[in-house]
Amino acid sequence: MNASVPGLTRAQFKTLSLAALGGALEFYDFVIFVFFATTMGALFFPADMPEWLKLVQTFGIFAAGYLARPLGGIVMAHFGDLSGRKRMFMLSILLMAIPTLLMGLLPTYASVGVLAPILLLLLRIMQGAAIGGEAPGAWVFVSEHVSPRHRLFACGALSAGLCSGILLGSLVARVINASFDENEVLAWAWRLPFVIGGVLGLLAMVVRRQLHETPVFAEMKERRALDAGLPLKTVLREHGSAVLLAMLLTWLLTAAVVVTLLMMPTLLQGLGVSRADALAGNTLAICATVIANLVAGWLADRFGAGRVLLLWSVLLGIAFWLFYSAALAGAYSPWLYMLAGAAVGITALVPGIAVGGFPPQVRFSGLSFAYNVAYAIAGGLTPVLLSLAIKDDPAAPMHYIAMMSVLGIGLGLFVSMRKPRLLAA
């Protein structure tokens, strides 16, 4: 058990706050697509296509963003390890804002035919490349601005910021659907959240200009201790076990976020829940996730990451089973959804544990490679495979999250038994 430690300095708190705010605005750009999945399916595919196939194709385009993550993440991480964390932190948000803005200006299938989904796919790939550098880069950035004893809370605060971006997307979707009728949304109002996202992306760039390079990277640069070769080569040659652990942790994170928060509004509507009620519950769940990230991070710094990971994994399995089984039975409860959202606080623990497995010289490359490859596979395939599985097994999401809960329990036990490795922050 870690002893109690002093609080963060004012400068560290400011860094965490600005990084979290920037991450929230960028993550909004990445996830707003999923909140309009049904609308996008109607606008970017033929009208006579079966609804289930439209949903699969739309989630397929959503998944393309995940499949593009490794390339963007690996490239940005390479330069982040060699030329600085902050530069890539700034670049990733520019690469996100531009395609988001362009999405809001796209012609639909009715105007240009098959070219419409192709253009949408290309922009989604650009978004994926950007987010591939954003999330791991942000976690490395905040973890290197604090003591190792505060690393899990710092990563939890950043994760809370990223989840706040999902919350912002949920709120914007609710406002759009409350302010305009279905015909207005299909005609033009669907464009508003993407245009707003582009503007928010530019705002996030302004916010991040106030941040400074991490002390860890600045010290390595001054001592000329940066990796002399290809950082990723060093990672694969010397840190294979850390990569494997980070990939398994990422799989757990992906399941919690993608199924519980991103896909759920659409899945609930498929169970007969109204769009308004589904989005209202989603908002409560994400609020719970944001708070739970901060709590889980604080607890992990105090009592150990493995123990808290085990606890939150059990919570994830039980809470999601209660929530989704009730929804299947026609007794959808936003309060049970909120409890399931609190279980997604597990996302605070994943990056903090994974970051600690890599030395500073290759930390960005190691985390980015493991996280993005795992997310591309799990995050890219989950929406499509679950959409297909639900046709034959309506309880498929419950079974999948239960399996992930078991994985999390195993990882929690492993981390608890492993000798802690506190690297220089």
Give the model confidence (pLDDT) of 160-217 as tens digits. Answer: 988 898 888 888 988 998 899 989 999 999 999 999 989 888 887 777 777 777 777 7
Q: Determine the average pLDDT of the residues in 84-113.
A: 85
Which pLDDT score is estimated for 226?
66
Which pLDDT score is estimated for 404?
96
| Domain architecture of the chain: domains with CATH | 10-417 (1.20.1250.20)
Q: Determine the average pLDDT of the residues in 90-106.
A: 87
Polymer length in residues for the chain = 425
Residues with Cβ within 8 Å of 42's Cβ and at least 6 positions away in sequence, in order, are 54, 186
Indicate if the pLDDT at residue 1 is higher than 60. no
User: What does the pLDDT look like over 5-51, one tens digit per residue?
Assistant: 346 788 788 888 878 887 888 788 878 887 787 788 888 888 777 77
Cα-based distances in Å from 346 to 62, 256, 292, 311, 350: 23, 8, 8, 9, 7
Which pLDDT score is estimated for 425?
40
Compute the Cα dihedral for 369, 371, 377, 383 and give only its sign.
Answer: negative
Indicate if the pLDDT at residue 227 is higher than 80. no
Indicate if the pLDDT at residue 309 is higher than 90. yes
- Please state which of the ranges 149-153, 205-209, 219-223 shows the lowest mean pLDDT: 219-223
Indicate if the pLDDT at residue 267 is higher than 80. yes
pLDDT band for position 228 (cuts 50, 70, 90) = low
Alpha helices in 144-259 (DSSP H): 151-179, 182-187, 192-208, 215-222, 231-238, 240-254
Which pLDDT score is estimated for 418?
75
pLDDT band for position 338 (cuts 50, 70, 90) = very high
What's 256's DSSP letter? I
pLDDT band for position 4 (cuts 50, 70, 90) = very low
Which pLDDT score is estimated for 246?
93
Indicate if the pLDDT at residue 422 is higher than 70. no
